Structure 1
Amino acid sequence: MDARVSGVRVEAVEYFQESGTVRTQFDQEKTPASMAVTATLADLIGTDPVELDPLHSTVDPDELDALVRVRNGTNGDIHVTFTHESHAITVHSYGVITITPEHELTAEKHERIAGR
């Protein structure tokens, strides 16, 4: 099943309303990781991708694309996690992006500490 986020074609998009997290699966052969991140984040925030701070202000888009290019199964998962536009973003080499608002991560951390 193909979907679109901010005009970029992806394979699947899942929204988790409780946490505000979005998970996008993209085809690394057709869509660079940096483009998929920008489109997914813009869609999550509800803005045009050109309105976001440039991705290169946080991470080198070319390096991100190179790191998560299609890999064979013997290399395992390589992933990158960074923060951009107040969201924690993890990009996996198998073509999955997870984006979570920072305030949700902080709340989860405090709940775990309080629950000890």
Structure 2
Amino acid sequence: MDTTVSGVGVEAVEYVQESGTVRTQFDQEKTPASVAVIATLADAMDTGPVELDPLYSTLDPDELDALVRVRNGANGDSHVAFTHEGHAITVHSYGVISISPEHELTAEKNERGTGR
């Protein structure tokens, strides 16, 4: 592990300042996706993980872990997208989490003409 976010070891962290997006890559063999999501979200929100609403208030953490469990390359990527704490979150089966403030995604859709 190269770095930590909110006390959880991750392989890489990327911050996109213009959009407020945070991307992390984590080792799925060592860290469940649900733990990595909360750690990354806490880091993005500059707060502690225990200060966030529990992930289970949005979705079942065990189901998230099962859906994005390590895949071999033959099956391609599966991912789960949801919102939690005002952020759009996408978790990919290849161990990448992308978190953006929800208002940024709404603004993008409006600029492209796909939203209201």
- The TM-score bracket by the shorter chain reads over 0.9
Range with bigger deviation, 36-45 or 69-78: 69-78
Unaligned runs of 5+ in 1: none
| Identical columns (%) | 82
Distance across 2 between alignment mates of 1:82 and 1:42: 16
Aligned residue pairs: how many?
A: 114
Aligned to 1:37: 37
Distance across 2 between alignment mates of 1:78 and 1:70: 10
Aligned to 1:76: 76
Provide the TM-score with structure 1 as the length reference.
0.95
Aligned to 2:58: 58
Range with bigger deviation, 88-97 or 1-10: 1-10
Distance across 2 between alignment mates of 1:67 and 1:110: 30
- DSSP 3-state at the match of 2:99: strand
Q: How far does the alpha carbon of each residue in 1:16-63 deviate from its partner, in whole angstroms, 9 at most, with x for none?
A: 000000010000000000000000000000000000000000010001
- DSSP 3-state at the match of 2:97: strand
Provide the TM-score with structure 2 as the length reference.
0.95
Unaligned runs of 5+ in 2: none
Say whether residues 1:12 and 2:8 are aligned partners: no
Distance across 2 between alignment mates of 1:53 and 1:105: 21
Distance across 2 between alignment mates of 1:46 and 1:10: 17
Distance across 1 between alignment mates of 2:65 and 2:5: 18
Indicate the RMSD between aligned Cα atoms, in angstroms: 1.1
Q: CA deviation at 1:113?
A: 1.5
